[in-house]
């Protein structure tokens, strides 16, 4: 099997990250999100802004890239849990969140998603998070099965998102943070940005 590497994403990855997101959305959300919304996604629209974000990544935010044979095939974003009514009441201290996890459809069922989830959750554990959450569309059955295979379970929280005029239900999943986090040196160091040609 070809080696998969999970590393910190860098500014030069921005174009590939946007391409993965657009292609993954179109494949995963077909029949869930209105086709017109998916058709309007543009893989060339945001790389510059994403590159700037990666260059100045906020403290405590992890943007991980999965790479196989020099090709970026997926990414995960993790950090402190987003604010909520519960966190405002002080009920969610020590919660980390996997904010996003996408794998290019060509790399589905190759272990890339599992490797990214493993790396993201261990990074959050290293940051001192004791409990983890993520949000997944209710009708995204494939993603829900994936997370459930990894020990995640719905915790009863729900939300509603609007895409192209359609309301879509979202569920929050929860899991404990890994008991034995990887050391900070377990992921390869970011590679240097490629020189502009």
Query: Which run of H or of E encompasses 156?
Result: strand 153-163
Model confidence pLDDT, tens digit, residues 136-165: 999 999 999 999 999 999 999 999 999 988
Full residue range of the structural domain in which residue 104 is found: 4-134
Rounded CA-CA distance 31/37 in Å is: 11
Identify the residue whose tokens are 């359609």. Answer: 166
Q: How far is CA 91 from CA 73, 109, 174, in A?
A: 36, 36, 14
* 83 pLDDT more than 60: yes
Q: What is the pTM of this model?
A: 0.86
- pLDDT value of residue 164: 86
Asked if residue 58 belongs to a domain, the reply is yes
Query: Nearest 5°: phi and psi at 105?
Result: -55, -30
* Residue 23 belongs to domain with CATH number: 3.40.630.30
- pLDDT value of residue 187: 53
Rounded CA-CA distance 54/46 in Å is: 12
Asked if residue 180 belongs to a domain, the reply is no
Tell me the average pLDDT across 21-34: 95
Tell me the average pLDDT across 189-197: 43
* 168 pLDDT more than 80: yes
The 10 Å CB-count burial string (b at 16+, else e) for 73-83 is bbbbbbbbbee
Asked if residue 152 belongs to a domain, the reply is no
Rounded CA-CA distance 95/82 in Å is: 9
Asked if residue 196 belongs to a domain, the reply is no
Asked if residue 178 belongs to a domain, the reply is no
- Tell me what the pLDDT averaged over the chain comes to: 89
Domain count within the chain? 1
Q: Nearest-CA neighbor of 95 among 49, 42, 133?
A: 133
């Amino acid at each position: 099997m070809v080696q998969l590497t999970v590393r910190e994403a860098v500014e030069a990855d921005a174009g590939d990250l946007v391409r993965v997101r657009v292609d993954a959305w179109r494949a995963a959300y077909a029949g869930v999100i209105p086709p017109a919304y998916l058709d309007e996604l543009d893989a060339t629209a945001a790389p510059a802004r994403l590159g700037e974000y990666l260059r100045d990544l906020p403290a405590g935010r992890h943007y991980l890239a999965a790479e196989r044979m020099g090709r970026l095939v997926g990414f995960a974003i993790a950090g402190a849990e987003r604010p909520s009514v519960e966190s405002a009441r002080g009920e969610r201290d020590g919660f980390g969140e996997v904010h996003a996890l996408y794998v290019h459809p060509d790399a589905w069922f190759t272990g890339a998603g599992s490797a990214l989830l493993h790396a993201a959750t261990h990074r959050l554990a290293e940051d001192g998070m004791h409990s983890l959450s993520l949000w997944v569309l209710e009708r995204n059955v494939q993603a829900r099965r994936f997370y459930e295979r990894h020990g995640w379970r719905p915790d009863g929280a729900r939300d509603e998102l609007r895409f192209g005029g359609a309301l879509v239900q979202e569920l929050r999943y929860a899991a404990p943070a890994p008991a034995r986090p990887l050391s900070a040196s377990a992921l390869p160091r970011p590679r240097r940005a490629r020189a502009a040609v």
